[in-house]
Chains A and B, each alone.
Chain A
Amino acid sequence: MRLNVNRKIVTVKAHPLARLLDVLREECGLTGTKEGCGEGECGACTVLVDGEPVNSCLVPVAQVQGTRIATIEGLGGTHRLQRAFVEHGGAQCGICTPGMIMAAAALGRRPSLDEIRTGLAGNLCRCTGYAAIYRSVLASRTTSKGKGQRAKA
């Protein structure tokens, strides 16, 4: 089976009903995508399929053939959201972070606070109480390198 993952075509050996989450982690070696619940409630496994956030634990791999799949690894390391999450405390234990960032990436470049709250409602974080995540996503709209260093908590 051929998949387009992070703008690369990869060939994977997988049962058509295998969970996209397992194929990404085990066949593609992309372990940045996490499993938190396996039932589509926590959002830790969020990836983008044609730009839309999905819970990869609920998606059979056959369903995403011919689509563009994006995982946290596809953002590189200096994406505006990644920088902002580091600078504004959006990541604590980090296990929800890749899914959270992918869900935030689907919100476009200038989401409002309301759009962020609604857009991230399917991603559970047990550490932050979400406030630092909002600050991170809001800051990512305009953030520039180093600016967040002096940000007040």
Chain B
Amino acid sequence: MVLLRRRRAVGRNVLRKEGHDKVTGLARYIDDIPFDNVLYVRTIRSTVPAGEIASIHYNFDQAGFTIVDHRDVPGRNIVALIDEDQPSLAVTHVRHIAEPILLLAHPDRARLLTADVAIDYREATPNFDPERSDISFKAIAIDKGRLDAGMGQADVIVEGEYRAGHQEQLYIEPNGVVAVPENGGVTLYGSLQCPYYVHRALAVLLGLPPEKVRVVQTETGGGFGGKEEYPSVIAGHAALVAMKSGRPAKLIYDRVEDMLATTKRHPAIVRHRTGVKKDGRLTAMDIDVVLDGGAYATLSAVVLSRGMIHASGPYRCDHIRARGRAAMTNTPPNGAFRGFGAPQTQFAIEAHMDVIADRLGIDPLRLRERNALRPGDTTATGQKVGKDCTALQVLREAARRTSFSKKRKALEGSHRGIGLSLFFHGSGFTGGGEVKLASKASLALTERGVQIRVASTEIGQGTRTMHAQIVADTLGIPYDEVDVSAADTATVPDSGPTVASRTCMIVGRLLQRCAEDMRARLGRLTPAAYFKKHGGFVVTKQYEKPPGLEWDDDHYRGDAYGSYGWACDVVEVEVDPVTYQATPVSFTTVHEIGRAIHPMLAAGQIEGGSSQGLGYALLEEVVMRGGKMANAQLTNYIIPTTLDTPPMTIEILESPYKYGPFGAKGVGEMPIDGPAPAVVNALRHAGVVVSEIPATPEKIMKAAMRRSG
């Protein structure tokens, strides 16, 4: 049978694979799936931020309960990730409030909730200030050129200090898992981003060979990084109960517990000292970054890495010295959150650029035009950016669309201000990360048709849909005929984690290569015809480094990412002169992402990420008191509602990346990098100088009072 060229899927808004299930309530999230004979699990957590466990008292009848502590760990009592510092269950000491110490399990939830456990501690003195911390999880130094020489060329040196608070991911479905003891091992079902992270963590914790551990992602109600590493913790707990009791163990956090105990975006303190010529040209950048890592290392080292690489912004500068560290404090560990260090450091550089513009009396748009990276320029790590570097295009397009300069003049002296931010975001793992990961993806021809087998998870961003589009067009078959396997470690290879804006560019490219091979093997036959004649087969491809990509991890030199997306946000903000509340009234962004495989999904990422960024800028304040989140509920941790979100204008530009599928780069994270500095710059334009986010009414009031003396 001769194959007919079908209508292309890539670039079209095909229907989302699981869309019907999501709008009908049929999609099954972890809490929707019934398990027989299930035990419910409750985590008993520390109530002090630092200290030694003195004694534990069980003030309830323990009959019928399964109780698990560190002595029940059959393997190694660690949450296996990068460092091995975090115990699954505390042994003698605790480093933060809400640290897991014990697990209680019972078939009756009411009994479980009323069980009283009292723990006495010998308290130690906690430290909540990352700048005073002696312990660094990671330190990074980036040097380009000679800072002294660059400062020597400067006409003016501009200094600034910028601070960003915690941010909660606030996926609407809290963390949750069910562990089922099976075949001498365990099967773990849960809401998670990275099945193989959990797989490894369980094998280490339970002392099981990898084949005795199976991890199955259930439909996941948002992640944003909050389900990158944390599921390894909660999965470990459920699995310990399941192994000890021999029964399925269900552990689903309620909102308060999720907010108290799970990871958040790292707070950051960033200091800039920048040498500039009178005409605005950057001659030297001296940057110091401190991230608050919280009590355990989690992913702090890599969050810092991405933060540092993005810390000098999308600008050309020959002389850069950047120093950064992620410091330990006695608060719950911070971890992955969309943007992964880049929102903090790009907030700082982009707010600082407007300070520089003010100091020099130059329009902030002109200052950025002068310094924006052009193809052939080098980044802070010495990476020569390619032809797909579009910093200048996105900047000019955003300015044009919003009549930025004209608007800026028109708003002068009013309660409104307009600000912009220019930013970039590296796609894929940092530095040599992709080489180390060596991800795999498979494409199978079965009696049911063509099936994608990857560990990449659908968490709302459209993974299944976008991957199926890439495969459909590469094979030349209709989109509807491509099936996507569940992310189940029993059936899919390790495609690496679903993080770092890598699911399209890296895993999508692997699938494209699988499909190219499959196409060659099918010849002129359709998949069904081939199967009938020759039977099925599976194609698997592994990551191959694009030619010329080199990275030196010891010196932080070289090609930090395969490619970058580029974007510019413009936001107009109104400040209420009575309540000091700042409200974004319009938001425009231009994003260049290589190729939009599915324009509607890509726009959805940009709108959603921008909205989270506006929340980060203005609303989302994690109040820490004594090492504990004091507002761990949705009543007073405020995320944007419909009424807080301004109308958004989204424009997508495409400058294809040679090694991305159909030219695609990453898109998931970049949108959250830009809104906070654009808002703060708009506030500055409205006469309110704020250098710390979130810019709550309290901070704006203080700034306004400073101004009026």
Contacts and interface: CB of A to CB of B under 8 A. Distances in A.
Interface residues on B, range: 35 or more
Interface in B1-52: 13-16, 18-29, 31-32
Contacts, number: 185
B648 A96 contact: no
A130 B633 contact: no
A41 B254 CA distance: 13
Interface in B637-654: 639-643, 645, 647-648, 650, 652
Contacts of B496: none
Interface in B589-637: 596, 599-604, 607-612, 633-635
Contact of A36 (B23, B173, B642): B173
A132 B170 CA distance: 19
Contacts of B28: 31
B222 A42 contact: no
Nearest to B32: A31
B236 interface: no
Interface residues of A, number: 61
Given A92-B461, A126-B172, A39 B633 contact: yes
- Interface SS majority for chain B: loop
Interface in B326-347: none
B221 interface: yes
Contacts of A72: 23-25
Contact of B171 (A83, A86, A126, A133): A126
A98 B27 CA distance: 10
B173 A153 contact: no
A130 B20 contact: no
Given A86-B16, A128-B604, A37 B255 contact: yes
Nearest to A136: B23
Nearest to B636: A41
A101 B648 contact: no
B24 A92 contact: no
B488 interface: no
**Most chain A Cβ neighbours within 10 Å, of B26, B224, B596, B650:** B26
Given A31-B32, A93-B173, A38 B255 contact: yes
Given A127-B222, A129-B608, A153-B599, A96 B26 contact: no
A19 interface: no
B23 A127 contact: no
Contacts of B322: none
Contact of B18 (A30, A32, A94, A128): A94
A121 B255 contact: no
A87 B15 contact: yes
Nearest to B15: A86
Contacts of A41: 633-635
Contacts of A86: 15-16, 19-20, 22-23
A91 B608 CA distance: 12
B27 A118 contact: no
B460 to A, nearest CB: 3
A127 B604 contact: yes
A123 B32 CA distance: 20
A97 B22 contact: yes
Interface string A97-123: 110010000000000000011101111
B460 A89 contact: no
B319 to A, nearest CB: 39
30 contacts: A25-B32, A34-B31, A34-B173, A36-B172, A38-B255, A44-B172, A75-B24, A85-B19, A85-B22, A86-B20, A89-B601, A92-B461, A92-B462, A94-B21, A94-B23, A94-B27, A94-B219, A95-B29, A124-B172, A124-B639, A124-B641, A126-B612, A128-B607, A129-B612, A130-B642, A130-B645, A149-B14, A153-B596, A153-B602, A153-B652
